[in-house]
């Protein structure tokens, strides 16, 4: 059974799979082709680094596992790339959404609703595990990483993204929820935990991500400035915000 915290996380995301809000999807009929395509267009416009990091086409023919399938936008790209796809998510809402999405485009995947702190796959089963902005919602991201190490074959890769604490977005959140709220003693980590998406969300320093992935033989990290960091900022100023102040930390880790 999921932990108490993970049950709260599940309740939050059951209401609305990530990336499917009306603000993004508009008034299109949920689960319609137009709805899915609007979600996809927004995702890669808002987070264009996904394609650069994931390199979907370069993994053709590989057996991949996506942890946290959400609305299935990236999962569809893995299927289109000719991968043997597996996907897990904490919510029924996400699994049902992704199953509908893949069927609409003529694809299928081995999808399961489960807590990724315990993966039901054999050792060394996957060539690649992918997770974009997901494991930091779990009570024990370290347990998920240990499971990923177990199910990856030697030489396999873990690719994805976690949130960065030393980012402009977190600074703005701390200003709003700590300093201006008369609670300057609140830490940035505490603010993210309570005010970013589901309860218990974590954000990391580069060193903490390196420590989280310490079981891998080789790890490459990169920070990215995002539209979430530069929201409501003049374009000319946003261009000068360095990536090291960015909300996303991406990683490529080799077992």
Task: Give the separation between CA 125 and CA 169, rounded to whole angstroms.
Answer: 37
Per-residue pLDDT tens digits for 74-119: 999 999 999 999 999 999 999 999 999 999 999 999 999 999 999 9
Residues written for the chain? 255
Angle between helices 33-46 and 73-80 (to 10 degrees): 90
Per-residue pLDDT tens digits for 174-215: 999 999 999 999 999 999 999 999 999 999 999 999 999 999
Structural contact between residues 7 and 138, judged by C-beta atoms closer than 8 angstroms: no
Domains of the chain from N-terminus onward: 4-163+203-254 (3.40.50.150)
Task: Give the separation between CA 216 and CA 40, rounded to whole angstroms.
Answer: 31
Per-residue pLDDT tens digits for 116-150: 999 999 999 999 999 999 999 999 999 999 999 99
Whole-model pTM?
0.96
Per-residue pLDDT tens digits for 237-255: 999 999 999 999 999 999 9
Per-residue pLDDT tens digits for 2-21: 789 999 999 999 999 999 99
Element holding 104 (H helix, E strand): helix 92-104
Query: Please, what is the Cα angle at 138 between 137 and 143, to 5 degrees?
Result: 140
The whole-number pLDDT of residue 211 equals 98
Mean pLDDT, residues 140-166 taken together: 98
Structural contact between residues 53 and 159, judged by C-beta atoms closer than 8 angstroms: yes
Cβ partners under 8 Å of residue 241, min gap 6: 168, 225, 229, 230, 233
Element holding 111 (H helix, E strand): strand 110-113
The whole-number pLDDT of residue 218 equals 98
**Mean of pLDDT over the chain:** 97
The whole-number pLDDT of residue 47 equals 98
């Amino acid at each position: 059974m999921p932990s108490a915290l993970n049950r709260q996380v599940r309740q939050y995301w059951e209401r609305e799979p990530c990336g499917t809000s009306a603000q993004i999807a508009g008034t299109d009929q949920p689960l319609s082709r137009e709805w899915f395509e609007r979600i996809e267009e927004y995702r890669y416009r808002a987070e264009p680094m996904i394609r650069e990091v994931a390199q979907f086409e370069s993994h053709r023919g590989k057996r991949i596992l996506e942890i946290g399938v959400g609305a299935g936008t990236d999962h569809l790209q893995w299927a289109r790339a000719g991968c043997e796809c597996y996907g897990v998510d904490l919510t029924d809402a996400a699994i049902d959404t992704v199953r509908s999405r893949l069927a609409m485009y003529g694809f299928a995947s081995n999808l399961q609703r489960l807590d990724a702190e315990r993966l039901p796959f054999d050792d060394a089963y996957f060539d690649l595990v992918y997770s974009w902005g997901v494991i930091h919602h779990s009570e024990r991201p370290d347990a998920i990483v240990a499971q990923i190490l177990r199910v990856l074959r030697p030489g396999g890769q873990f690719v994805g993204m976690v949130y960065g604490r030393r980012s402009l977005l977190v600074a703005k959140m701390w200003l709003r929820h700590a300093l201006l709220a008369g609670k300057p003693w609140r830490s940035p980590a505490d603010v993210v935990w309570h005010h970013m998406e589901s309860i218990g969300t974590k954000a990391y320093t580069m060193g903490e991500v390196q420590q989280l992935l310490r079981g891998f033989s080789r790890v490459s990290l990169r920070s990215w400035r995002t539209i979430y960091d530069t929201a409501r900022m003049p374009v000319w100023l946003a261009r000068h915000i360095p990536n090291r102040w960015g909300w996303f930390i991406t990683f490529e880790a080799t077992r």
